[in-house]
Chain A
Amino acid sequence: MRIATAKYSYKHDEALFDSRTQYVWLLVLACGLMIFPFMANEYWLYLACLVAINIGSATGLNILTGYTGLVSLGQAAFMGIGAYTVAVMQGWFDMPVLINLLLAGTVTMLAGLVVGIPSLRVKGLYLAIATIAASMILHFVFSNWQSVTGGTAGVVVAPARFFGIDLDTSFRFYWMVVPVTVVMLLGSANLFRTRTGRAFIAIRDRDISAEVLGIRLLRYKLLSFGLSSFYAGVAGGMWAYFFRIVTPESFPLSMSIFFLTAIIVGGMGTLLGSILGATFITMVPEALKLIVGWLPISADATLILSPVRTIVYGLLIIGFLIFEPLGLQEVWRRVQRFFHLWPFRS
């Protein structure tokens, strides 16, 4: 049962975290995140970094798809822009890491606006198809703009450098990627307490009504698309620092589908959904590796793994949309509700 949640001021009611219980749990989580790198081995640290990057990108896609109701299948390609921006800034100018990440976000946002303007003038699924187009064109640019992107061979990125320390292991990288992701999450959480964020939600729920209420549709849709691209760019920048090589094949269309799966599985239009979904979906291939390893098949396991993973992602999208459209976060809420109502409802 939940007690001591009476609210005495409007401000308190509006607060992002409104009870002491929440603060305690957040503190526990923060401590857990701090202790984790010292307890985990290299493999789990690698996964943690990957999860953090994916959470960043999934949060961006969720702003667009979950909150504004516009589907994008170009998230991976936009991450690619961020990754290449970081690669160029690091390789040519050797700029500080955080500035590179911000620049990656900004450049990606500008590219997103260019794609968004034609496709946002029309309703419905045009943006989805235009973003496919954008990702194809971007792939073409990545592999043909030799002087900047190094063509199909790609660019090697120097490790990120913080106060003279090279972030070249997962352990060191963890300390950069997790705080950046937390900042991104907080930014997104706060966005939906402002006029802008609420405008996004209004557009998702009924665009015409939103327009009648005085929300400029094109401006806010573009803003949402730009913000989502910004997140993708920053996440792509971190991706570049993590894997340290960027090629045109690093960001295929299937990776965009991966992020779409993440937010559908996690729950569209919730922050918790991005976190749960991105974590879950990053773990799926690892779990599949284990399962395929156990199965008594003689064929080369790695050959089966890739198609099986594609199938599982597809089935997850379909299954969650039909049977649990609110996603994993709804399951989480159900568990929470059970404890809130605990002795009274049994």
Chain B
Amino acid sequence: MDMDWLFFTEITLAGLGTGGLYALTALAFVIIYKSTGVVNLAIGEMLMLGAYLCFGLAIGWGLPIWLAIIGAILISGVAGGLIERLTIRPMVGESPISTFMITVGLAAVLAGLVELIWTAEPRRMPAFFPDDAIFIGEAFVPSKVFYGFFVTIALIALVLLVFRYWRGGVALRATAFDQAAAYSMGINVPRVFSLSWVVGAMIAAMAGILVGAVGGISPSMGVFGLSVLVVVIAGGLDSVLGALVAGMAIGLIEAWASGFLGGEFKITATFLILIIVLMIRPYGLFGTRDIERL
């Protein structure tokens, strides 16, 4: 069988586009997990909320698109802070499983709210990428995928830089490393908890807006979050590098699976990867192995 290289390249490029978005969302997950230890199942719904807020501000309120994007990110940040303060903070010291189930509840509430306000119909985001056909070599790339990819990469770089040099980012990393030590060095650890949720929600919103711009928005966008869960498990729950590598890898594998086997294989492939990872390397590619003391 002669391989259709053009088709392969096109699919691969599309996969890289999705992979970048996975990596960005996984970053939001890892930031929350590292600093608060919460496995956030609602990450997909937070992403969806960001996309719908942007849609609502741009279409419902008629704001210019750039203002709608900024507004959506800010409102998501506030929502993230509120979520942390109202539902996650009371669970500090409870078992991780209880906190996890809180996020299951959150996912349901957010999905329901979005459906209640904007109904279950799929919507189209107002386009904000320049609309021209782009060819890399001979392969055709839809412009929104092309520009989306670069915006994603820029955002990932921005997030990484912010966490390297910004005071809040340093505080966050210190808290992730050792809460007690961070606290005794004068870092307000509870504030860092809030901060991580605010930042996580904002990153998720950015990813959501990009996902919406590329593929349209609908209340089933939460499924994107399930793939992200697989990404973070494959990469290692607490590893930024893992999130980036696994995000790209899973984006590619999904694209190949749906390109060559058919669309219905996409999510199945993802979850087969999950099961294989759990069997071979349960703490993820770059995750730290848990050592537990009594």
Interface residues of chain A, those whose CB is within 8 Å of chain B, are: 69, 71, 73, 118-119, 121-126, 128-130, 132-134, 136-137, 140, 143-144, 206, 208-209, 254, 257, 260-261, 264, 303-304, 306-318, 321-322, 325
Contact = CB atoms under 8 A, between A and B. Distances in A.
A307 to B, nearest CB: 4
Contacts of B3: none
B51 to A, nearest CB: 17
A310 B87 contact: no
Given A130-B274, A133-B230, A322-B90, A125 B100 contact: yes
A318 B268 contact: no
B2 interface: no
Given A128-B41, A310-B112, A314-B111, 12 more contacts: A121-B282, A124-B39, A126-B278, A133-B270, A133-B274, A136-B270, A140-B264, A308-B112, A314-B110, A317-B101, A318-B105, A321-B91
Nearest to B227: A136
Nearest to A256: B104
A310 B220 CA distance: 14
Contacts of B39: 124-125
A335 B244 CA distance: 53
B101 to A, nearest CB: 6
A128 B100 contact: yes
Nearest to B117: A307
Contacts of A254: 108
Given A126-B282, A136-B268, A321 B97 contact: no
- Residue in A303, A321, A325 with the greatest tally of chain B CB atoms within 10 Å: A321
Identify whether the interface residues of A are mostly helix, strand, loop, or mixed: helix
Contacts of B229: 129, 132
Given A71-B100, A140-B267, A260-B101, A307 B109 contact: no
- Residue in B102, B112, B116, B294 with the greatest tally of chain A CB atoms within 10 Å: B112
6 contacts: A71-B101, A118-B278, A126-B278, A257-B108, A307-B111, A315-B109
A214 to B, nearest CB: 16
Contact of B104 (A69, A73, A123): A73
Contacts of A124: 39, 96, 290
Contacts of A312: 112
B195 interface: no
Contacts of B292: 123, 208
The list of the 3 closest CB pairs from A to B, nearest first, reads A314-B108, A317-B105, A310-B112
- Residue in B97, B264, B294 with the greatest tally of chain A CB atoms within 10 Å: B97
B249 to A, nearest CB: 17
Nearest to A130: B278
B207 interface: no
B283 A209 contact: no
A307 B105 contact: no
A307 B106 contact: no
Interface in B65-95: 87, 90-91, 94-95
B268 A140 contact: yes
A144 B264 contact: yes
B106 A318 contact: yes
A298 to B, nearest CB: 15
A130 B275 contact: yes
Contact of B105 (A123, A206, A304, A321): A321
A321 B98 contact: yes
- Residue in A208, A257, A311, A314 with the greatest tally of chain B CB atoms within 10 Å: A314
A107 B166 CA distance: 55
A330 B38 CA distance: 27
